[in-house]
């Protein structure tokens, strides 16, 4: 059973964007929301790994192994859980304060599953 403790580093959406954007990003943006939330709207550069999948797997997915991770969800609660779990399994993960709600509020891009303008569900 996974027990949640609030001891994971948090960063702002602007810090998350700067770490995960560009030709050679310093980190991978990992979105841990469920499929319907992802389909409605996500950051274009994000990798989708639902929290339920992380909990079942117990560690980073293959696409994120060996990379710094910036973890995001809708509001910041699930991303804290995911970042802590990832750190406990040897990853270097931080979570994004305010999640995708704050991301969209800051004017950062959000696309839907088809690549069109998305919304946070």
Condensed to tens digits (0 to 9), the pLDDT of residues 4-35 reads: 445 569 999 999 999 999 999 999 999 999 99
The pTM is what?
A: 0.91
Phi-psi category of residue 105: left, alpha or beta, with phi > 0 → left and psi -120 to 50 → alpha: alpha
3 state DSSP class of 28: strand
Mean pLDDT score across all residues of the chain: 91
The pLDDT tens digits for 55-109 are 998 777 787 778 899 999 999 999 999 999 999 988 999 999 999 999 999 999 9
Q: Residue 61: its pLDDT value, please?
A: 77
Q: Residue 92: its pLDDT value, please?
A: 92
């Amino acid at each position: 059973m996974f027990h949640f403790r609030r001891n994971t580093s948090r960063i702002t959406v602007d810090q998350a964007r700067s770490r995960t954007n560009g030709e050679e990003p310093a980190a991978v943006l990992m979105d841990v929301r469920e499929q319907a939330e992802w389909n409605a709207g996500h950051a274009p550069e994000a990798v989708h790994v639902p929290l339920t999948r992380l909990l079942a797997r117990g560690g980073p997915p293959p696409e994120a192994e060996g990379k710094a991770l910036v973890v995001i969800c809708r509001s910041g609660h699930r991303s804290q859980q995911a970042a802590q779990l990832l750190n406990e399994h040897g990853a270097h993960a931080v979570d994004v304060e305010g999640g995708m709600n704050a991301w969209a509020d800051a004017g950062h891009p959000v696309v839907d599953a088809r690549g069109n303008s998305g919304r946070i569900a």
